[in-house]
Amino acid sequence: MTVWWVVFGLVVVCLVMRAVGPAVLGGRELPSPMRRVVTVLAPALLAGLVVTEIGGERWAALDAAMVAGVLVAGGARLVRVPALVAVVIGAAVTAGIRVFAA
């Protein structure tokens, strides 16, 4: 039951934090430096999550096939391939390396 109280508490905190921004800012725009930070925050956090997920705890579970798949998907995005297609290409590369390496 304690887990559900924690989940409920996190939901309340998340809702309060999301409500504070519009309440404090009102109809004003963010300053230019703050807008640049907010723009790059989500991609930076996502990149950090991907890197830590690929590397595992203390880089002990580093999977070369997964690294290759992420690099290929990133390269596909650099040449303007749609995101879903890039993910499928990256997954196919990862699967192909795992099949041929086994």
Instruction: Record the pTM.
Output: 0.60
- Give 61-81 pLDDT, tens digit per residue: 788 899 999 999 999 999 999
**Residue 1: inside a domain:** yes
Question: Among the listed ranges 7-21, 22-36, 69-83, which one has the minimum average pLDDT value?
Answer: 22-36
- Name the pLDDT band for 26 (thresholds 50, 70, 90): confident
**Residue 83: inside a domain:** no
**Residue 85: inside a domain:** no
**Residue 102: inside a domain:** no
Name the residue range of residue 14's domain.
Answer: 1-30
What number of helices (H) and strands (E) belong to the chain?
4, 0
- Give 40-65 pLDDT, tens digit per residue: 998 899 888 888 888 877 878 788 89
Residue 75: what pLDDT?
A: 96
Assess contact for 43 and 51: CB atoms under 8 A. Answer: no
The average pLDDT across 14-33 equals 83
**Residue 64: inside a domain:** no
**Residue 22: inside a domain:** yes
Residue 62: what pLDDT?
A: 83
The whole-angstrom separation of Cα 19 and Cα 25 is: 10
The total number of structural domains in the chain stands at 1
List of residues 6+ apart from 76 with CB closer than 8 A = 85, 86, 89, 90
Neighbours of 93 (CB within 10 A): 19
Listed residue (52, 81, 60, 46) closest to 93, CA to CA: 81
**Residue 19: inside a domain:** yes
